[in-house]
Amino acid sequence: MAVVGSAHPKYLSKMAFVSEKKWSGIVATFFDLEPTTMRPKVAFLVAFLGLSLAAVPALAHHSFTAEFNPEKSFTVKGVLTHVDWTNPHVYFYVDAKDQNGNVETWSFQTFPPGMLHRAGVRKEVFKIGEQVTVLANVAKDGTKHLGSGNKIRYSDGHEILLIVAGRNYDKY
């Protein structure tokens, strides 16, 4: 039989021998555990690693300035056609005509539904089929027809503000 472990006197009592229980002996020696007390500790370790990996997508979230330029804004006039009221961000879409009269669909990203809801903005305030003017910030990567929606003004004059403290939304 081969000995797995260290020959250091501290570990002599914990030596494990390779046998039909080869892996439990190796793991027990590695963690300095007796095989009978190893199961709850390994279960804890597996649960801890599983929960840690489940939290990784939350760490991948980006800031506004990573995706959009807060110093550059633009406006789009057109018809509000669709709203995706889903996490992680609400998107709304506007069909606008270009200089040649061709219809282009613009998409605008805004805050998560929960944040908008807490601010008093509900999905129902987005009136599909209405003429709107949208003030937005440009995408940093140059993506065409994408912006971060800041303000929506309807043809009757009422507005939906999608604001963050410290940013200017007064200009159209």
Q: Residue 42's domain spans which residues?
A: 3-59
Say if residue 105's pLDDT is above 90: yes
Cβ-proximal residues to 88 (8 Å cutoff; 6+ apart), any chain: 61, 112
Torsion of CA 88, 81, 74, 160, to 10 degrees: -70
User: pLDDT tens, 10-61?
Assistant: 544 444 444 445 555 555 555 555 555 667 777 776 766 666 665 555 545 5
The number of distinct structural domains making up the chain is 2
50 lies in the same domain as 87:
no
Lowest mean pLDDT among 7-11, 99-103, 129-133: 7-11
Domain boundary among 18, 35, 59: 59
More confident position, 170 or 130: 130
> Which of 72-76, 115-119, 165-169 has the highest mean predicted lDDT (pLDDT)?
72-76
68 lies in the same domain as 54:
no
Structure tokens at 136: 């937005």
Provide the whole-model pTM. Answer: 0.62
134 lies in the same domain as 86:
yes
75 lies in the same domain as 117:
yes
Q: Indicate the residue type of 117.
A: H
Say if residue 167's pLDDT is above 70: no
